[in-house]
Structures are given as C-alpha cells and as structure tokens.
Structure 1
Amino acid sequence: MGSAPQCHFGVYARIRDAGRILLVHKTRGPYTGLLDLPGGRPEPGETWPQTLERELQEELGLTISATGAFRPFDVHVQQSSTGAPIDFHHHGVVLDLALASPPAPVTSPDTAGYEWFDLRTGDTTCLSAAVRTVLGRHPPGTVNRQ
C-alpha cells in the first residue's frame, strides 16, 4: 500500500518588475533547492491578506498591504526537487503585488534569501512547480488545473 498524498494550501505573492519576478530560495519541503513564490500556509484564524503580509515580512522583510483579487492555482507534483517520486497536491492562491521598497536580508527557516528571476532569459528548471503553474509554464511531472 502506498503512502497517503501530501496536501498543502498556501497564500503567495507574484511580484514582478520589468520582466523579472521576485522569488525565494526554498530550504525545505518538496521544492528544496528551487526558487518559489514568497508566501506560505495560513496560521489558525488568519485571513489570506494577513497570511501574505506575515509571510512577506518573514521571508523578505517587506511590509506590504495585501489587497486585491487572489487567484487560485492547483498543481499535482509527482517528482520532488531531488527527482524522488512523490504525491504532492499543492493548492493555493496568488496575489499580484508591486514593491515600493527593495526586500531586506532576513533569516527564515523556509528560505535562504531571494532573487529576481529574469522571465525572458532565466533557466526555468530551477523554478518550483507552483511558480511554473502560476506563470503558465507547466513543469514536467505535474498535472495542472487552473
């Protein structure tokens, strides 16, 4: 008998600037070693905007008001960042945001800094399945639903 599928729900930001997207370096979970959207799991009682504001402060040192229309995404990941077979269902919502100030260096248990990824020339193999799904670039080893 196989193991039960792992399910995760998160609230994320898509922050773009001049053909680039702001992403974090993941240090744990199925996206370890990959670039991922800033954000994460809601804590009990948090609204989506509250979750996103907290996560952006924790991961990027940013204080941003998370207002606007959240868009859902759903991806079924069948291979971890190391190539191991997994059954990971990643559900979430994403909000487009603009930056008024640059991110600050912070320490987070989930991430190891950030980078601006060039959407025109960057190697997309370093992107998580969630990032590729949100960008409309479906990764291998996934089943995507919008």
Structure 2
Amino acid sequence: MDPAPQHHFGVYARIRDADRILLVHKTRGPYTGLLDLPGGSPEPGESWPETLERELHEELGLHLTAAGHFKPFALHVRTTSTGEPINFHHHGVYLDLPRPTTAPAAITSPDTAGCRWFNTRTDDETHLSPVVHAVLAL
C-alpha cells in the first residue's frame, strides 16, 4: 500500500551557461542531499515571477528579473533520496533564465546549502533530483 499522497507546487529557474546549469544543494525534504533547481513554493498572494525572484535571492543571493514564459512539469516520486517510500506528486513551473552577470553566493537557506554549476555533458547525474532530470529532458 502506498503512503498517503503528498502534493507540492513550486516555481523554479533553469539557469544555463552553455552545457552547465546552476543547481542548489537540498538540505531537507524528499530531495535531501541532491542537486535541485533553485526555486520554491509561492507565498500567499505571490505571483510566479515574485516567487522566483524571492527564491533566487534567498537561495543564490541573486537579484534577477523573472520575465518570460513559464513552462509546466509534473512528476510522481515514489522514493526519497534516502530510499524511503513516498507518494509525492510534484507539480510546478520553471523559467529559463540566462547566466547571471554576477556570481551566485554560497548562501544557506532553510532548504539549501550553497550551489554549483553542473556540467550536463560530463558531471555524474546520480545526484540530481527528479525535478532536474524531468526539466533537463524537456
């Protein structure tokens, strides 16, 4: 029998620089210990661009304008990063953003501990969250 279903909606950024993508290190939730897209859940009354701008500042120390077309994704995750069974329905939107003109900061937020550029051609993909796998495939 599946664990009780959980539903999550988030707003994320796919920040690219050639073959690299900027990712954050997750410190809690079902993706603990994995690299994930920067972003998170909207606060009450917050638009998607406002959410993304706030999250990029909180997680990366960046002041970026979230403008453009948000793209949807949906996935069903059955195990956490530690192998525990879950019934996690993750829905969200992401926005493609160019490489920032300033370097991201090594910030620790409630959900993340720093960031790194991940090379999609050469780096090991085993430590990527299901969201990153799904968005890279789109």
Into which bin does the TM-score normalised by the smaller protein fall?
A: over 0.9
Aligned mates of 2:134, 2:3 — CA distance in 1: 25
Name the amino acid aligned to 1:129: P
By how many angstroms is 1:49 displaced?
0.1
Name the amino acid aligned to 2:106: P
Aligned mates of 1:5, 1:86 — CA distance in 2: 8
In structure 2, the partner of 1:25 is: 25
Q: Map of 1:1-146 to 2, 5 A cutoff? A: 3-98=3-98, 99-136=100-137
CA distances 1:36-66 after superposition (whole Å, capped 9, x unpaired): 0000000000000000000000000000000
Aligned mates of 1:8, 1:105 — CA distance in 2: 26
Residues 95-104 or 7-16, more deviating: 95-104
By how many angstroms is 1:29 displaced?
0.2
The secondary structure found in structure 2 opposite 1:55 is: helix
Residue ranges of structure 2 left out of the alignment (5+ in a row): none
Dislocated runs of 4+, deviation >6 Å: none
Asked if structure 1 preserves the Cα contact closer than 8 Å seen for 2:14 and 2:96, the reply is: yes
Name the amino acid aligned to 1:33: G
Asked if structure 1 preserves the Cα contact closer than 8 Å seen for 2:2 and 2:86, the reply is: no
Aligned mates of 2:30, 2:102 — CA distance in 1: 30
How high is the TM-score relative to the length of structure 2? 0.96
Residues 98-107 or 32-41, more deviating: 98-107
Aligned mates of 1:82, 1:107 — CA distance in 2: 21
By how many angstroms is 1:23 displaced?
0.1
Aligned mates of 1:2, 1:133 — CA distance in 2: 22
CA distances 1:62-105 after superposition (whole Å, capped 9, x unpaired): 00000000000001001110011110000000000011211123
How high is the TM-score relative to the length of structure 1? 0.90
Asked if structure 1 preserves the Cα contact closer than 8 Å seen for 2:106 and 2:113, the reply is: no
In structure 2, the partner of 1:140 is: none
The secondary structure found in structure 2 opposite 1:11 is: strand
Aligned mates of 2:53, 2:111 — CA distance in 1: 16
**Superposition RMSD on alpha carbons, in Å?**
1.2
Name the amino acid aligned to 2:37: L
In structure 2, the partner of 1:143 is: none
